[in-house]
Structure 1
Amino acid sequence: MLAELFAVMAPVLAGAGLGYAWVRLGHPYPVDFITRLVFNIGTPALVLASLSGANIDAGTFGHVMLATALVILTMGAASFLVARLLGHHWRVVIAPMMYPNTGNMGLPVVLYAFGSAGFAYGITVMVTVSLFQFTLGAVLDAKGNPLKTLVKTPTVYAIVIAMALLLTDTPLPPWLANTVDLMSGFTVPLMLITL
């Protein structure tokens, strides 16, 4: 049992450990560049590659999204109450409690615990969390225009395209499927190293 758990967690620990060791050894690490690369190219490619080739039907996809949305909204309500009880402003508490780390830590754990079939469900959860962050999160943050944030987020376009492909049971053309698959490969490792 412990060996199986370690096999699942070792890639996460190794990725985060590599990033920690890299910085501790004094090597430069361009966090801003890596974050933009992952945010603008890697994550959209990961969403498209994972969902367009996933063996998941639209009904199950919808159920997982709904369940994730209910968890997020429940955690939002609970964090609001906790903030009131502790005497903190709700804006300080709500974001870290409402939005779980489903990307850089959740995806590798799901992949190595449940394989590629489970990974599609993990991506579905990450997609739902991302949609909430880019919509409700932008509204709650109250900095700037949430619609402008949404329009400028490449992951949102990837989500819409992937959902359309999933709902219509349409595969990506092979050249595009290969491209997004290749580009998606750097996303999770770079997220872990940056973490």
Structure 2
Amino acid sequence: MLEATLRILSIIFPVFACAAMGAAYGYFRRPDMAVVNRLNMEFFAPFLVFWALMDKPFDFVAYRDLAIGGITVVLGSGLLLLPIAWLLRINLKTFLPPMMFNNSGNMGIPLVLFAFGETALQAAIVLFIIEMVLHFTVGFYILNHRTNPFNLLKMPMIQATILGLLCSSLHITLPDALANTVKLLGQVSVPLLLFSLGVRLLDVNLRDWKLGTFGAIAGPAAGIACVYLVMPLLHLDATQYAQLLIFAALPPAVLNVLVAEQYQQEPDRVASIVLLGNLASLLIMPAILWFALS
């Protein structure tokens, strides 16, 4: 029991410690993170994705069921919570996106790295890409019923994904000097994602704490329910099953707040849902890790 607790602490502590340091720095310095976040999403994170996919051969069959599970978690969470939100008369455009699109980048990738090591990075990247693509297609469609999937091709993250899969499929390897440079640039992304998360959470409020508290419980609960509903149809090994459970229980992505601001869809209420969801993850994620790793 003690050994399991110490292992979970070793996984959780670096993740939340980096976010906490970002929050502390942000509280005293109030930095403008717009440029940093843009650099991370358009430069460092694409290098991480590219390196993870081309570092070793990418087995499409091995990740097929995991990808199906990830899609089920994202879309299924929205479908499960749709009638509940409708009965409670909650604005669906405000509530459903944070319940569906989680922190698979800022928190999901670091958790997987600390829990399973670099061997599980490809699987984490697969889930991250699925969540991101669905957010920029289905998520945007929920808010304004118009979206152009071809705009995804302009995103550096998608371009890095395509290039990484192409190199892996064709067994193209980079010279050591270039490969180490790509890896080094990609490694910048993970701590920067967590640091940025901490800074960003300072900007949200607790005005709608009741809705935020409900969302903090409902989101992970719906995601985990989707995992158990789809599990009989999937063939996952123990590590992939644990990763899918962790993915399902992740808190809402901070990107939900930025999108809500862009579409003027009650950004203050969305911010409360995101903040309380991430605070609740301090309790939820250790419990999920203990269950998944056991």
Give the TM-score, by structure 1 length: 0.89
CA distance in 2, matches of 1:62, 1:147: 22
Question: SS of the counterpart of 1:180?
Answer: helix
Which among 147, 160, 163 is matched to residue 161 of structure 1? 163
The runs of 5 or more residues in structure 2 that have no matched partner are 198-294
**Alignment deviations for residues 61-91 of structure 1 (CA, whole Å, 9 cap, x no partner):** 2222122111112112113222212111211
CA distance in 1, matches of 2:174, 2:88: 50
**Map 1:26-175 → 2, pairs under 5 A:** 26-54=28-56, 56-142=58-144, 145-147=147-149, 149-172=151-174, 174-175=176-177
Using a 3 Å threshold, how does the CA distance of structure 1 residues 175 and 138 change in structure 2: closer, same or farther? Answer: farther
Which among 10, 13, 16 is matched to residue 13 of structure 2? 10
For residue 31 of structure 1, report the CA deviation from its aligned partner.
1.2
CA distance in 2, matches of 1:136, 1:174: 39
In structure 1, the residue matched to 2:239 is none
Contact kept, 8 Å, 1:55 with 1:117, in 2: the verdict is: no
Structure 1 window deviating more from structure 2 (134-143 vs 177-186): it is 134-143
**Alignment deviations for residues 142-189 of structure 1 (CA, whole Å, 9 cap, x no partner):** 287534642432111112222333344433454543332121111111
CA distance in 1, matches of 2:134, 2:178: 27
Taking only the aligned residue pairs, the percentage that are identical comes to: 28
CA distance in 1, matches of 2:117, 2:145: 39
CA distance in 1, matches of 2:124, 2:88: 33
Q: What RMSD over aligned residues (CA atoms) do the two structures have, in Å?
A: 2.1
Give the TM-score, by structure 2 length: 0.61
CA distance in 1, matches of 2:62, 2:165: 12
Using a 3 Å threshold, how does the CA distance of structure 1 residues 166 and 186 change in structure 2: closer, same or farther? Answer: same
The runs of 5 or more residues in structure 1 that have no matched partner are none
Question: SS of the counterpart of 2:62?
Answer: helix
CA distance in 2, matches of 1:182, 1:159: 18
CA distance in 1, matches of 2:104, 2:193: 11
CA distance in 2, matches of 1:54, 1:129: 23
CA distance in 1, matches of 2:21, 2:182: 25
For residue 51 of structure 1, report the CA deviation from its aligned partner.
1.4
Aligned length: 194
**Alignment deviations for residues 98-144 of structure 1 (CA, whole Å, 9 cap, x no partner):** 11211111111111111111222111111111111122222223287
In structure 1, the residue matched to 2:195 is 193
CA distance in 2, matches of 1:31, 1:143: 30
Contact kept, 8 Å, 1:38 with 1:187, in 2: the verdict is: yes
Contact kept, 8 Å, 1:46 with 1:187, in 2: the verdict is: yes
Contact kept, 8 Å, 1:58 with 1:166, in 2: the verdict is: no
Structure 1 window deviating more from structure 2 (155-164 vs 90-99): it is 155-164
Question: SS of the counterpart of 1:166?
Answer: helix
